[in-house]
């Protein structure tokens, strides 16, 4: 069991985490991908691995890449729907035994698909069974395909199943689509693809405490820099207190994501949540805020009084929502 500390709060993991090229596993059931949002397509593949584990008792492994060693000029969008630690938490809950974030440097990027199969899949991961999507690619210039995996399976001693993408409402489930929904504020659509509520974790920071003076105190969180945040605006949320004297309590509330244009228009994005029916002192506490619905965009209302009036309407609207 490994203790992970993020900001000022700690999570315990039973899941084995590998962030190195130096490892050796045997007899594993493995799937590959970015696993950014761990959406329903990813969950389907993990379910296939769980079926195999019942047959062969091999560990369930999720293999993804750590792109931080690659030059920024050639990295793709590194904003993450779920951060590395959040992925580990979710994957453990789904029954995954091992998460590999394989460091990808230029040497790794130049590895041929055949060498990737022989050196990584066979020798390092020790794969017994692979479950991959039909569009999975790997190796130099993404030249490796599921067809190559099938071709090399006999010599390498693994079985492989190839699956079509999951569709919801006639759209292929993908992290790209989830990202698009989040950036548009379409939280309900994103949650449907994720198979869970999008959430943000962090530690409550002290802000200017302006909200307290107008009757709307907020718990302020600055998320990890890599975290993909939804569109700026107001959301219906529920927040769970994760540690401290009030651990386990859950509060309905409204959350604003943005730069506070009415009272300062800062550059740093904040996540500010006003809890309904809560007088607890939560400074320094770790919280998890789950997002249910977008209610309006962030707007410069011109004055603190106008902001107070708008927040009163926001609260009434969200209190009346069933979620």
CATH 3.40.50.620 is held by the domain 23-171: yes
Q: Are 128 and 153 in contact (CB under 8 A)?
A: no
Per-chain mean pLDDT for the chain: 90
Q: Would you kindly state where each structural domain of the chain is located, as residue ranges?
A: 23-171, 197-319
Local confidence band at 270 (pLDDT 50, 70, 90 cut-offs): confident
H helical segments located in the chain: 40-56, 84-93, 106-109, 113-115, 146-156, 175-183, 187-194, 210-213, 304-319
Tell me the range of 78-82, 220-224, 314-318 where mean pLDDT is highest: 314-318
Question: Which one, of 165, 79, 149, lies nearest residue 117 by Cα?
Answer: 149
**What homologous superfamily is domain 197-319 in, according to CATH?**
Riboflavin kinase-like (2.40.30.30)
Does pLDDT of 7 surpass 70?
no
Local confidence band at 282 (pLDDT 50, 70, 90 cut-offs): confident
């Amino acid at each position: 069991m490994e203790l992970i500390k993020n900001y000022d709060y700690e999570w315990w993991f039973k899941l084995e985490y590998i962030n190195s090229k130096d490892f050796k596993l045997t007899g594993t059931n493995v799937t590959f991908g970015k696993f950014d949002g761990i959406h329903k397509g990813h969950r389907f593949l993990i379910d296939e691995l769980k079926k195999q584990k019942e047959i062969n008792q091999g560990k369930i492994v999720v293999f993804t890449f750590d792109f931080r060693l690659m030059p920024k000029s050639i990295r793709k969008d590194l904003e993450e729907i779920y951060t590395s630690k959040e992925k580990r938490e979710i994957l453990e809950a789904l029954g995954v035994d091992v998460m590999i974030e394989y460091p990808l440097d230029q040497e790794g990027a130049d590895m041929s698909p055949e060498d990737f199969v022989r050196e990584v899949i066979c020798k390092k991961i020790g794969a017994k069974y692979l479950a991959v999507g039909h569009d999975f690619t790997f190796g130099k210039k993404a030249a490796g395909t599921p067809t190559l995996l099938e071709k090399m399976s006999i010599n390498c001693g693994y079985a492989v199943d190839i699956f079509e993408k999951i569709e919801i409402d006639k759209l292929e489930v993908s992290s790209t689509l989830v990202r698009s929904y989040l950036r548009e504020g379409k939280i309900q659509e994103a949650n449907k693809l994720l198979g869970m509520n999008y959430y943000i974790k962090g530690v409550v920071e002290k802000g200017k405490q302006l909200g307290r003076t107008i009757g709307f105190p907020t718990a302020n969180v600055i998320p990890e820099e890599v975290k993909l945040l939804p569109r700026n605006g107001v959301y219906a949320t529920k927040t769970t207190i994760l540690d401290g004297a009030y651990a386990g309590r859950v509060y309905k509330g409204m959350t604003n994501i943005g730069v506070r244009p009415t009272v300062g228009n800062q550059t740093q994005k904040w996540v500010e949540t006003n809890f309904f029916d809560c007088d607890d002192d939560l400074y320094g506490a770790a919280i998890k805020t789950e997002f249910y619905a977008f209610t309006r965009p962030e707007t410069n209302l011109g004055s603190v009084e106008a902001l107070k009036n708008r927040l009163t309407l926001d609260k009434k609207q969200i209190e009346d929502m069933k979620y």
